Structure 1
Amino acid sequence: MDDIAGHLGISKKTIYQFYKDKKELVHLLMQKMVSDQQEEISQHEAGAKNAIEEIFAVIVCLQRLMQTINPVIFYDLQKYHPESWKLYQDFRDNFLTRRIKTNLERGISEGLYRKDLDLDIVAIMRINDLDTVFSTQVYSPARFDMGKVLSELTNHYLYGVVSLKGYKLINEYKNVYEED
């Protein structure tokens, strides 16, 4: 709270006029972050021409988010703010998992993804991949750029789910999105 007050140029007392305590502030910020991510991902999903473009658009969105988040925050949320951590878990387990499965269904119907995929298993694998991006024990921020890790994991994921038709599109979108 001292850091926040100092950054805003106000006293802690002023902060406490608006927020009961740090837990409330963290919880409201987490709600806002989750809501913003849901909205942005849904917009990318709606605007994408196909399932592969959707993946690339969402990854750009997540990479922007990663530039503003210290991965240690996930550890702090788990340890010190379990109610707020639950918001993230619900976002991950419900919204993100549902979006991944919807993308897989779309890709299969477009002929871009393999028809033999088990959607439940692949969605869980993808969620676990995304979780490891934020694991400082797996990908230390001192050694790895989180955006690069996300990009490599996404390449690995896409090459595992695409059909031959989808494979041809990956390089096209990689060129477009890497230029941005």
Structure 2
Amino acid sequence: MKEKIKITATELFLNLGFKSVTMDDIANEMGISKKTIYTHFNNKTALVNEVTSSLFCVISEGIDLICAAEKNSIEELYEIKRFVMEHLKDEKSSPQYQLQKYYPKIYATLKKKQYDVMQDCVKDNLIRGVHSGVYRDTINIEFISRIYFNGVTGIKDNELFPLKEFSMNTLMEYFLEYHIRGICTPKGLETLNKFITTNQSS
């Protein structure tokens, strides 16, 4: 039952937001009593903590598998973007922004874990990209990996990028192109243009 509650809560939180969804909403969605939820989770904060931790693990494992395939570095970034968007339901309710606003301690812990995982992944992507000739060999790996993380988290700021004007999927498309254009070689640009053309036609 605990796992079923987590799955339902995850769906509701991602689609409607961490703030909007109440324990009553989760109970009604599942057709169970609120008391049943409280036998597994002391309060909503505990449930949010479990949901975000589980989601983080699923996404991290998926990203690890994509990275292990050692595809072309540019292709890898697009594959990761697609995978993350799929699992976060395109972030229609800007969950990260709501998490930061209403559950700052959980957000801070999660951000630290995200940074640690992403640094390894992004640095590896950059190093392989340089070796394969799609990224310039003059880039500073440490700087680019940090600015990439800052950009990925920054575009989720709802005040800077209102969802009414930009969908999360669109923002990620823009950001990826912006990031790759800044570091790629003419060879890399050819690969990037293929992805831009494909995404525009799909």
Give me the TM-score of the superposition, normalised by structure 2: 0.81
- Asked whether the 8 Å contact 2:94–2:158 carries over to 1, the reply is yes
Q: Secondary structure at the match of 1:27?
A: helix
Looking at structure 2, the residues matched to 103 and 71 of structure 1 have their Cα atoms a distance apart, in angstroms, of 29
For 2:200 and 2:70, locate their aligned partners in 1 and report how far apart those are by CA, in whole Å.
17
Name the CA shift for 1:19/1:81 in 2 (closer, same or farther; >3 Å). same
Where does 1:95-174 land on structure 2 (aligned, <5 Å)? 95-174=117-196
- Is the contact made by 1:112 and 1:166 (CA closer than 8 Å) also made in structure 2? yes
User: How large is the Cα RMSD of the aligned pairs?
Assistant: 1.9
Counterparts of 1:60 and 1:68 in 2: how far apart (Å)? 9
2:4 is aligned to: none
Structure 2 CA distance for partners of 1:72 and 1:150, relative to 1, 3 Å: closer
1:125-149 CA distances to partner (integer Å, 9 max, x unpaired)? 1112111221101110111111001
Range moving further from structure 2, 90-99 or 144-153: 90-99
Task: Output aligned runs, 1:52-131, within 5 Å.
Answer: 52-131=74-153
Larger relative contact order, structure 1 or 2 (CA cutoff 8 Å, min sep 6)? 1
CA distance in 1, matches of 2:157, 2:195: 27
CA distance in 1, matches of 2:28, 2:91: 20
State how 1:5-24 maps to structure 2 within 5 Å.
Answer: 5-24=27-46
Output the amino acid matched with 1:60. R
Deviation at 1:70, TM superposition (A): 4.2
Q: Does 1:38 align with 2:60?
A: yes
On the 8 A contact 1:100/1:123 being kept in 2, the answer is yes
Q: Distance in 1 between matches of 2:188 and 2:153?
A: 25
Count, aligned residues: 180
Do 2:91 and 2:168's aligned partners in 1 also have CA atoms closer than 8 Å?
Answer: no
Amino acid at match of 1:67: K
Whole-Å Cα distance in 2 between the matches of residues 49 and 157 of structure 1? 18
Structure 1 residue 23 displacement after superposition: 1.6
Q: Aligned AA for 1:106?
A: R
Change (3 A) 1:75 1:33: same
Structure 1: gaps (5+ residues): none
Distance apart, 1:80 and its partner CA: 3.4
Question: TM-score normalized by structure 1?
Answer: 0.90
